[in-house]
Structure 1
Amino acid sequence: MKTPASFLYNLILALWVGGIAMFTFIVTPAIFKAYNRDMAGEIVDKLFPDYFMFNIVVSILALIVFVSFLYQRKSIESAVSIGLIVVALVVNLYVNFKLHPEILRIKKEVSSFQTMPPDAGPRKEFRKLHGISMALNLLLMADGAGLLLLSSLLKK
């Protein structure tokens, strides 16, 4: 990769990984610590559309910048990088357009997380979908970290 493109690509990946880490490990826990569970959920629900769009945009930007310089580097690292970026883009689109709307639909059936029993059907379904969402979020963070590692290998 050429230096300006490499810098831009690494900046995009840093925003990708850092954005996910900040939202996951700092912002969301702080909100749930400061507010009751129902209110915290409402606040986080307001943040999700922008968070998901941010993740889609950074994965598209990473793909554009990487593909623009891929043909200079026909290597296993390049092929794996393209694969990881495409996987991230597909996961981000799935989360934004399928999983999150399904979570919101189920969440409407939960009158209150504080009063509805944890074994109630809607709570169980929400817990399952929320678990999938959390796992995919961590997968996206690991995907971005893997891309950063591969980026350092491409420079050699």
Structure 2
Amino acid sequence: MQVVAAIYRLAISLWLGGAALFTFVLTPILFRSESRDVAGRIVGLFFPGYFRWGVACGLVAIICRVVMAGKGTVPAAVIIAVMLTLSSIQAFYIEPKAAEIKRHIPSFETTPKEDPMRRQFSKLHGISAVCNLSVIAGGVVLVILL
């Protein structure tokens, strides 16, 4: 059971750490050091793997949590389920849809903010950001519960 608990802690840590690193370190550095279009293209290349990483970590964590069944299982499992749902929405709905919309925007630097495609993209980006920050917040709570 100690091995399962260690795998659980590792999955949560990798999920939270990966999300925090990508959100608060790598993405801001890219957008500060490159043009918006170049940074957006680079980040866009990482998004499919980033979101699927969250789904993989979430699946491992929820399986471990169920196997460990005991004190604190239900609250932690609910938090993980919400985080996993949000990561799945990002991986399998928001990211593919945003990538498709992005293909129709020649440049974020020259395309007006009022452009219909840009507005659609901005809306999806906002939803994704809320999902991402919610996953990070859930991860912080799970680390505190450890």
TM-score tier by shorter-chain length is: over 0.9
Q: Which residue of 2 aligns with 1:154?
A: none
SS at the partner of 2:106? coil
- How many angstroms apart in 2 are the aligned matches of 1:56 and 1:118? 32
Q: Which residue of 1 aligns with 2:134?
A: 139
2:111 to 113, 116, 122: 116
**Contact map agreement 2:86 2:131 (CA 8 A) in 1:** yes
Q: Which residue of 1 aligns with 2:53?
A: 54
Give the alignment's TM-score, normalised by structure 1: 0.87
Q: Which residue of 1 aligns with 2:68?
A: 69
One-letter amino acid matched to 1:125: Q
Question: Percent same amino acid at aligned positions?
Answer: 35
Q: Which residue of 1 aligns with 2:29?
A: 30
Q: Which runs of 5+ in 2 are unaligned?
A: none
Aligned residues: 146
Segments of 4+ in structure 1 off by > 4 A? none
Give the alignment's TM-score, normalised by structure 2: 0.93
**Does residue 150 in structure 1 map to residue 145 in structure 2?**
yes
One-letter amino acid matched to 1:112: S
Task: Quote how far apart the aligned CAs of 1:112 are.
Answer: 0.8
SS at the partner of 1:31? helix
One-letter amino acid matched to 1:29: P
1:106 to 101, 108, 112: 101
Task: Quote how far apart the aligned CAs of 1:43 are.
Answer: 0.7
2:75 to 80, 83, 90: 80
**Does residue 91 in structure 1 map to residue 101 in structure 2?**
no
Q: Which runs of 5+ in 1 are unaligned?
A: 152-156
